[in-house]
Structure 1
């Protein structure tokens, strides 16, 4: 299959950043760690990966803007294009040598997501998508789960860390879902959970209070795999509200209805 020049550049940048991440993952004892907040660690590996991604992408697209977890907003002379970057989504997993984290890069044009890469450098699973071109895992076409009944679904619900926002709501929503679904998983990486929805591994995903860089690539992956993304409780854009629900067309309304019952728990 062929990829656009922009996506080719993104994949190359991600693979280059991944080499440093893989080295650091193998030497966890030597990592320098600073604390940003409860359960939210930033490592030297994060910063190095962020720098590599920005440098490589800027070489090929010098005028594009950036929004990254580590750097924030970096304005470019081209106001229509923006890269959205999370150098390591799932840093706590990374620090505990749990091989479930991802390098996340998305590209927006005029506010619309047009290309995405999510890469787990430990498992060498590279998910990518372009608007209108489908979603792929290591070049194999992906489709979201075809399950139509919430009672048969395995759902990923990402619980907030200690001190996180809406902890009572998340506990109540998880309780409401537990009464309906086969099982609930929380893997510690919104990026991978969304990729797993695109791959049909999870039937649905719910997360509250996350940032655009956590979800931007995954949103396009899910859409291009035939799924849908929405705010769990309102008509808001998840990229703006920070709350996201991803599922196929049949499960999405069932998930919303189940989450609405959280007040009973």
Structure 2
């Protein structure tokens, strides 16, 4: 195992302990609203600090891009850790057992290491660039679906950008007609990990942030999948509009999206 991946796993498990301890006393968790339909808890902050502490101890000269704390450490370093300490905060607050820790390491702008950790189920998804994707130390691959028939596709509702509601629902309707079923579970990091593990055939969402997708993106690619924006391009980091799956599933999903795309969603 790459030593930096080992540190990322250690950091994710440290954050997981913070989160699991808090699930036993949810009534004591402080919740604040940091934006429209965007919540943060003391647990998000504590878990993030646990991650930073572990990584800084091993690599004091590295930089961080964190959901809660923003940019920290050495901003000029070629090593930047992309951290979402608790992806699925709303689920956590409501006591819904579906959330994850997401940590990625970018070296000169390329994601080289990735960890998504589900502390509720003790499930660990990891990847090192060029060395495949693993789930609890077992190699994983995306599914072999040839089109949307019989697939289960995950998505996320555009709850932070509700002005896209009509477009989203039109795409959802067309895609739903051809799939076996659709899922909306509330954690993009876990959705991406589950695509990489072959549990889901694909995933799409509008307006995600880099910390939502950085780790999951590498997991999917190392499991044989592809990641695109809504036009099949590579603008998903800037736009936050993401489509993932095996190449044939992504092609089928994009064909359902194309008739409904607005100029804003085509970037």
TM-score range relative to shorter protein: over 0.9
Q: Choose 219-228 or 35-44, whichever is displaced more.
A: 35-44
C-alpha separation in 1, matches of 2:168 and 2:155: 9
- Where 1:152 maps in the other structure, the secondary structure is coil
**Does the CA-based 8 Å contact 2:226-2:245 persist in structure 1?**
yes
Which residue, out of 190, 193, 200, partners 1:192? 190
Q: Choose 215-224 or 16-25, whichever is displaced more.
A: 16-25
| TM-score normalized by the length of structure 1 | 0.95
Q: CA separation of 1:76/1:202 partners in 2, compared to 1, >3 Å: closer, same or farther?
A: same
- Where 1:250 maps in the other structure, the secondary structure is helix
**What corresponds to 1:219 in structure 2?**
217
- Where 2:211 maps in the other structure, the secondary structure is helix
CA displacement 1:96-126 (0-9 Å, x = unmatched)? 1111100000000110010000001001001
Q: How does 1:77-92 map to 2 (within 5 A)?
A: 79-92=77-90
C-alpha separation in 2, matches of 1:13 and 1:250: 35
Q: CA separation of 1:80/1:165 partners in 2, compared to 1, >3 Å: closer, same or farther?
A: farther
| TM-score normalized by the length of structure 2 | 0.94
- Where 2:253 maps in the other structure, the secondary structure is helix
**What corresponds to 1:94 in structure 2?**
92
- Where 2:172 maps in the other structure, the secondary structure is helix
**What corresponds to 2:120 in structure 1?**
122
Once the two structures are TM-superposed, the CA of residue 170 in structure 1 deviates from its matched residue by 1.4
Which residue, out of 73, 87, 96, partners 2:71? 73
Once the two structures are TM-superposed, the CA of residue 75 in structure 1 deviates from its matched residue by 4.3
Corresponding pairs, count: 261
**What corresponds to 1:63 in structure 2?**
61
Once the two structures are TM-superposed, the CA of residue 77 in structure 1 deviates from its matched residue by 6.2
C-alpha separation in 2, matches of 1:150 and 1:164: 26
**Does the CA-based 8 Å contact 1:63-1:78 persist in structure 2?**
no
C-alpha separation in 2, matches of 1:183 and 1:121: 26
- Where 1:246 maps in the other structure, the secondary structure is strand
Which residue, out of 5, 12, 15, partners 2:13? 15
CA displacement 1:32-73 (0-9 Å, x = unmatched)? 111123432100100000111111111111111110000111
**What corresponds to 1:168 in structure 2?**
166
Q: CA separation of 1:117/1:30 partners in 2, compared to 1, >3 Å: closer, same or farther?
A: same
- Where 1:259 maps in the other structure, the secondary structure is helix
Once the two structures are TM-superposed, the CA of residue 78 in structure 1 deviates from its matched residue by 5.1
**What corresponds to 1:201 in structure 2?**
199
Q: Choose 219-228 or 36-45, whichever is displaced more.
A: 36-45
For the aligned residue pairs, the C-alpha RMSD in angstroms reads 1.4
- Where 1:74 maps in the other structure, the secondary structure is strand
CA displacement 1:121-158 (0-9 Å, x = unmatched)? 00100100000111111101100011112122110111
**Structure 2: stretches of 5+ with no match in the other structure:** 262-267
C-alpha separation in 1, matches of 2:124 and 2:38: 24
Once the two structures are TM-superposed, the CA of residue 86 in structure 1 deviates from its matched residue by 0.3
- Where 2:124 maps in the other structure, the secondary structure is strand
Q: CA separation of 1:93/1:77 partners in 2, compared to 1, >3 Å: closer, same or farther?
A: closer
Once the two structures are TM-superposed, the CA of residue 95 in structure 1 deviates from its matched residue by 0.6
